[in-house]
């Protein structure tokens, strides 16, 4: 990787971190120290296994699309 590419990557990463930091500040988001706090927000009728299956399926689909996209370049 060239110095220019490294510098560009560093700049893009910095920009993303700044955007994320601004969003966190604007929304007043704080870390959850106790998972029971998160569990209290979770709807009782939601199936966590169904959510996990959905997330894994979406991740697999995105990985396949990215791999196909890289292959066609």
- pLDDT in single tens digits along all 73 residues of the chain: 787 777 667 777 778 888 889 999 999 988 889 888 888 877 778 888 888 898 899 999 999 988 888 888 6
- Give residue 8's pLDDT: 66
Task: Kindly state the DSSP code that residue 29 receives in the 8-state scheme.
Answer: -
- Give residue 57's pLDDT: 93
Buried b (16+ CB within 10 A) or exposed e, 16-39: eeeeeeeeeeeeeeeeeeeeeeee
- pTM summary value: 0.40
Please, are residues 32 and 38 in contact by the beta-carbon 8 Å criterion? yes
d(CA 73, CA 64) in angstroms, rounded, equals 14
């Amino acid at each position: 990787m060239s110095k220019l590419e490294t510098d560009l990557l560093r700049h893009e990463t910095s920009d993303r971190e700044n955007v994320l930091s601004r969003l966190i500040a604007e929304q007043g988001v704080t870390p959850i120290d106790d998972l029971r706090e998160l569990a209290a927000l979770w709807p009782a009728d939601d199936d966590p296994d169904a959510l996990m299956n959905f997330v894994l399926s979406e991740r697999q689909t995105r990985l396949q699309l990215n791999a196909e996209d890289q292959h066609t370049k």
